């Protein structure tokens, strides 16, 4: 790629971003789009739909940037929660890292690279290849490479310092957040599995007896988990029917009592309110019958609540039974965060499903590109002509054929890629996690590795998947192969940052999909406002994407520092856009207390190590073996640093220490409303499907869905 081509691409993409921003700043002010651009504010009742028309609505303004910038860190934290705060810290951390990296890269490394003559590129400045700005242009054996060598050490030092500071800062925030939190059911509750129920007794009795025996002073209550998925379905049906009924009744429109239920009321079966009411009554009868029979369908697991947080921690940390596969305790998630489509009690089953998921996830990651390549191969023009002969005329047009051959393969890749996060979520939920937050956290790691393998390594190491795997089976060869392959892809990744990075982040702001679906539902009706629920941020797909750009920046820092300015723009845009989105669009579905940070930390350490390995390879290729050898301590030191960080900070992100728990428990004792809280706690984890339901006569609020499903 030559410089002018890069500049053109930058220009086009800047224009696109600018267009998105302009459109956003106009569209967000239209009352009809308020559920797209500020659903959170709507849900919190801070903004009302509708409003008077004025001219200002049609003018693009940058007010949203100011609004996103204004709240202080503390305000943002209290407004959006610690998880969102940690998410924003990724941008701040990356900006710091690449500000330092940019200074060294642009003012020290770039001039040195440009002054080299290895590539003997004699074209004028505009037509210079981007490689002239990379380390490939430095002459072999040149002593100037020692500057790159020192830069690697300095940069690693800076990144490690920033990592340490950030881990320290966030762990103190986490403790502070815990201290400032109100008593919450999940702080006092454990999920206990593998309960050995002796014959002749019920699970209920066994749990009660065990905890009264071994934790008499702290045990409060428990609720046994039941196999309620059939019941759950019935209750959901009833709820849906009830909603529709209320909706129909509200319209209070006699002719519509008999209407068709399809699009625009023109098509579909004829329905009438009486019919609905009769069906609802039937379902309710079924639900009551199912509920009474469900009491017997106990699963050998229970939520056990304790009087104090410390009491729960004791039961959590100390192996309860002589057989460690029985009475397995685990922290309970927040009641509304419970999500276990594949819940199992058996120790062996869970262990096997973990193994199966591990194998499935690894093969998906490693072999993903094979089916993609096959499908891409099927979309050659002649193939399409055979399949759709009637399109032959159109396909022969040169514009159409160019578009198809140019965009179809990458469209297919994008299509396949878009399935990955949901698949990883499914795999994680099969793995035995019991809450949406844990599933998303685990899927986040899976998607991260997937992204690194299928975007970074797949582009760097061309060749079949098996070839790439084989490289990692010959550890000695890795530095040399990476040292050869990575620098040659520098210009690809620079343009990747500009095209893919900038536009995805701008489209995050613009929310095209939501906008269109909102528009369609407005026109065709059908969607009623009762169903409106503000979205939550998909950490499991956003964090890996952002971290990939971080990885690109770190690995290319000494190879092609030209990438860094573009990354700085990316992270800057990201900071403002995601701050805006987290304040206005996304609602936190759960609060893990910042448990996503260790993933970010680990991925940064991984990128550093990768950078070091590439440096070892490249110094070898550049005929400076001494620098190559002297780089070897760097990854070792980095790993040791990581080890220390894990020991120093990771425990805080896993569990709260005794000191905090006890202090918090003591603070509770002085609270007035603790008896009420204990009452609430005792019922917090009851299966909502077991609550008495009575839709037919009732018409006020509908039940809050606590437990979403259970096996």
* Minimum CB distance to a copy of itself smaller for 287 or for 465: 465
- From 158-166, 185-193, 320-328, 677-685, give the range in contact with a copy of itself by CB under 8 A: 320-328
* Minimum CB distance to a copy of itself smaller for 436 or for 649: 649
Q: Cβ 473 to a copy of itself, closest distance in Å? A: 6
For the residues of 76-134, what is the DSSP string, one character each?
A: HHHHHHHHHHHHHHHHHHHHHHHHHHHHHIIIIIHHHHHH--SS---S-GGG-BGGGGS
Task: Check binding of 198 to a copy of itself (CB under 8 A).
Answer: no
Task: Check binding of 214 to a copy of itself (CB under 8 A).
Answer: yes
Residue among 124, 382, 659, 697 that touches a copy of itself (CB under 8 A): 659
- From 86-94, 589-597, 611-619, 648-656, give the range in contact with a copy of itself by CB under 8 A: 648-656
Contact positions with a copy of itself (CB under 8 A) in 148-177 = 175
* Minimum CB distance to a copy of itself smaller for 198 or for 692: 198
Question: Would you give the DSSP letter of residue 135?
Answer: G
Query: What tokens does 330 get?
Result: 């685990």
Task: Check binding of 660 to a copy of itself (CB under 8 A).
Answer: yes
C-alpha–C-alpha distance, residues 221 and 411, integer Å: 54
Largest CA distance in the chain: 89
Residue among 130, 299, 313, 357 that touches a copy of itself (CB under 8 A): 313
Contact 684, 185 (CB under 8 A): yes
* Minimum CB distance to a copy of itself smaller for 253 or for 477: 477
Integer angstrom CA distances of residue 117 from 57, 133, 142: 56, 11, 11
Contact 128, 78 (CB under 8 A): no
Alpha helix (H) residue ranges in 368-498: 369-378, 381-387, 392-395, 398-430, 436-451, 458-460, 465-473, 478-488, 490-496
Q: Cβ 564 to a copy of itself, closest distance in Å? A: 34
Task: Check binding of 657 to a copy of itself (CB under 8 A).
Answer: yes
- Of the chain, the end-to-end C-alpha distance in Å amounts to 55
Q: Cβ 96 to a copy of itself, closest distance in Å? A: 24
Q: Cβ 567 to a copy of itself, closest distance in Å? A: 34
Q: Cβ 403 to a copy of itself, closest distance in Å? A: 45
Q: Cβ 327 to a copy of itself, closest distance in Å? A: 8
Strand order in the sheet with 219-226: 219-226, 298-306, 189-193, 328-331
Q: Which of 590, 599, 545, 570 is nearest to 418 (CA)?
A: 545
* Minimum CB distance to a copy of itself smaller for 337 or for 668: 668
* Minimum CB distance to a copy of itself smaller for 40 or for 173: 173
Task: Check binding of 314 to a copy of itself (CB under 8 A).
Answer: yes
Q: Cβ 179 to a copy of itself, closest distance in Å? A: 10
Residue among 11, 32, 324, 525 that touches a copy of itself (CB under 8 A): 324
Question: Would you give the DSSP letter of residue 13?
Answer: H
Q: Cβ 15 to a copy of itself, closest distance in Å? A: 50
Task: Check binding of 319 to a copy of itself (CB under 8 A).
Answer: yes
Question: Would you give the DSSP letter of residue 332?
Answer: P
Task: Check binding of 318 to a copy of itself (CB under 8 A).
Answer: yes
* Minimum CB distance to a copy of itself smaller for 126 or for 323: 323
Q: Cβ 476 to a copy of itself, closest distance in Å? A: 6
Residue among 264, 289, 355, 391 that touches a copy of itself (CB under 8 A): 355
Residue among 466, 658, 667, 691 that touches a copy of itself (CB under 8 A): 658
- From 151-159, 318-326, 619-627, 685-693, give the range in contact with a copy of itself by CB under 8 A: 318-326
- From 289-297, 346-354, 493-501, 519-527, give the range in contact with a copy of itself by CB under 8 A: 346-354
Contact positions with a copy of itself (CB under 8 A) in 624-643 = 640
Q: How many chain residues touch a copy of itself (CB under 8 A)?
A: 38
List 477's β-bridge partners, or say none.
none
Residue 191 phi/psi, 5° resolution? -100, 125
| Region label for 623, one of left (φ > 0), alpha (ψ between -120 and 50) or beta (otherwise) | left
Q: Which of 572, 578, 514, 497 is nearest to 543 (CA)?
A: 578
C-alpha–C-alpha distance, residues 105 and 150, integer Å: 12
Residue appearing with tokens 């020692």: 146
Residue appearing with tokens 């690995």: 555
C-alpha–C-alpha distance, residues 299 and 346, integer Å: 10
Task: Check binding of 644 to a copy of itself (CB under 8 A).
Answer: yes
Contact 423, 363 (CB under 8 A): no
Q: Cβ 224 to a copy of itself, closest distance in Å? A: 21
Task: Check binding of 669 to a copy of itself (CB under 8 A).
Answer: no
3-class SS letters over 569-583:
HHHHHHHHHHHHHHH
Task: Check binding of 317 to a copy of itself (CB under 8 A).
Answer: yes
* Minimum CB distance to a copy of itself smaller for 385 or for 595: 595
Query: What tokens does 129 get?
Result: 């290849």
Q: Which of 300, 319, 347, 334 is nearest to 192 (CA)?
A: 300
Q: Cβ 321 to a copy of itself, closest distance in Å? A: 6
Q: Cβ 611 to a copy of itself, closest distance in Å? A: 22
Contact positions with a copy of itself (CB under 8 A) in 516-535 = none
Task: Check binding of 356 to a copy of itself (CB under 8 A).
Answer: no
**What length does the chain have?**
711
Q: Cβ 628 to a copy of itself, closest distance in Å? A: 17
> How many Cβ atoms are within 10 Å of 584's Cβ, its own excluded?
21
Burial (0-12, 13-18, 19+ Cβ within 10 Å), 388: exposed
Helices and strands counted in the chain (H then E): 30, 6
C-alpha–C-alpha distance, residues 448 and 700, integer Å: 45
Q: Cβ 174 to a copy of itself, closest distance in Å? A: 10
Mask of contacts with a copy of itself, 469-488, x by CB under 8 A?
----xxxx------------
C-alpha–C-alpha distance, residues 564 and 497, integer Å: 10
Residue among 320, 334, 508, 668 that touches a copy of itself (CB under 8 A): 320
What residues make contact with a copy of itself under the rule CB under 8 A?
Answer: 175, 213-214, 310, 313-315, 317-325, 347-348, 351, 355, 473-476, 640, 644, 647-649, 651-652, 655, 657-662
């Amino acid at each position: 790629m030559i410089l002018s081509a890069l500049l053109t691409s930058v220009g086009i993409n800047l224009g696109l971003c600018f267009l998105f921003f302009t459109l956003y700043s106009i569209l967000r002010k239209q009352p009809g789009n308020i559920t797209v651009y500020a659903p959170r504010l709507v849900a919190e009742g801070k903004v009302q739909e509708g409003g008077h028309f004025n001219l200002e609505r049609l003018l693009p303004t940058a007010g949203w940037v100011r609004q996103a910038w204004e709240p202080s860190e503390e305000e943002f934290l209290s407004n959006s929660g610690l998880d969102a705060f940690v998410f924003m810290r990724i941008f701040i951390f990356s900006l710091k890292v690449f500000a330092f990296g940019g200074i060294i890269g642009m003012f020290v490394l770039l001039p040195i690279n440009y002054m080299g003559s290895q590539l003997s590129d004699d074209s004028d400045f505009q037509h210079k290849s981007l490689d002239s700005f990379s380390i490939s242009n430095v002459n072999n054996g040149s002593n100037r490479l020692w500057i790159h060598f020192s830069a690697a050490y300095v940069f690693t030092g800076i990144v490690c310092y920033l990592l340490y500071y950030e881990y320290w800062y966030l762990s103190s925030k986490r403790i502070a957040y815990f201290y400032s939190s109100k008593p919450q059911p999940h702080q006092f509750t454990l999920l206990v599995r593998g309960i050995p129920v002796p014959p002749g007794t019920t699970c209920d009795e066994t749990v009660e007896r065990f905890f009264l025996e071994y934790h008499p002073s702290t045990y409060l209550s428990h609720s046994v988990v039941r196999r309620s998925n059939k019941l759950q379905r019935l209750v959901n049906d009833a709820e849906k029917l009830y909603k529709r009924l209320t909706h129909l009744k509200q319209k209070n429109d006699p002719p519509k009592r008999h209407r068709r239920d399809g699009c625009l009321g023109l098509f579909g079966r004829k329905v009438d309110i009486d019919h609905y009411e009769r069906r609802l009554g039937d379902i309710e009868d079924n639900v009551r019958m199912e509920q009474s029979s469900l009491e017997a369908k106990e699963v050998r697991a229970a939520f056990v609540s304790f009087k104090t947080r410390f009491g729960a921690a004791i039961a959590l940390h100390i192996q309860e039974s002589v057989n460690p596969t029985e009475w397995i305790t685990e922290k309970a998630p927040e009641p509304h965060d419970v999500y276990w489509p594949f819940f199992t009690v058996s120790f062996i089953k869970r262990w096997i499903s973990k193994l199966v998921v591990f194998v499935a996830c690894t093969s998906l990651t490693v072999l993903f590109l094979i089916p993609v390549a096959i499908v891409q191969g099927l979309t050659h023009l002649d193939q399409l002509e055979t399949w759709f002969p009637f399109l032959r005329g159109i396909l022969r047009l040169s514009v159409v054929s160019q578009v198809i051959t140019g965009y179809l393969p990458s469209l297919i890749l994008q299509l396949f890629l878009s399935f990955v996060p949901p698949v990883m979520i499914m795999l994680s939920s099969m793995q035995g996690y019991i809450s949406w937050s844990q599933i998303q956290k685990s899927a986040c790691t899976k998607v991260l590795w997937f992204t690194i393998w299928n975007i970074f390594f797949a582009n760097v190491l061309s060749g079949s998947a098996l070839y790439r795997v084989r490289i990692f089976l010959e550890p000695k060869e890795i530095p040399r192969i990476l040292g050869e392959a990575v620098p040659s892809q520098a210009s690809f990744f620079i343009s990747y940052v500009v095209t893919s990075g900038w536009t995805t982040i701008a489209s995050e702001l613009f929310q095209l999909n939501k906008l269109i679906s909102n528009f369609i539902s407005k026109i065709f009706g059908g969607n009623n406002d009762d169903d409106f629920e503000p979205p939550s941020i998909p950490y499991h797909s956003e964090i890996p994407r952002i971290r990939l750009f971080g990885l690109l920046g770190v690995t290319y820092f000494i190879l092609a520092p030209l990438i860094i300015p573009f990354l700085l723009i990316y992270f800057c845009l990201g900071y403002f856009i995601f701050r805006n989105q987290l304040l206005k669009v996304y609602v936190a579905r759960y609060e893990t207390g910042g448990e996503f940070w260790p993933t970010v930390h680990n991925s940064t350490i991984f990128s550093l190590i990768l950078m070091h390995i590439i440096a070892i390879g490249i110094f070898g290729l550049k005929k400076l073996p001494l620098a190559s050898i002297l780089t070897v301590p760097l990854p070792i030191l980095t790993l040791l640093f990581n080890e220390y960080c894990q020991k120093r900070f990771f425990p805080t992100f896993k569990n709260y220490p005794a000191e905090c728990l006890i202090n918090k428990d003591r603070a509770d004792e002085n609270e007035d409303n603790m008896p009420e809280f204990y009452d609430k706690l005792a019922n917090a984890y009851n299966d909502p499907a077991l609550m008495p339901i009575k839709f037919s006569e009732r018409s006020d609020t509908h039940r809050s869905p606590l437990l979403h499903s259970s096996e």
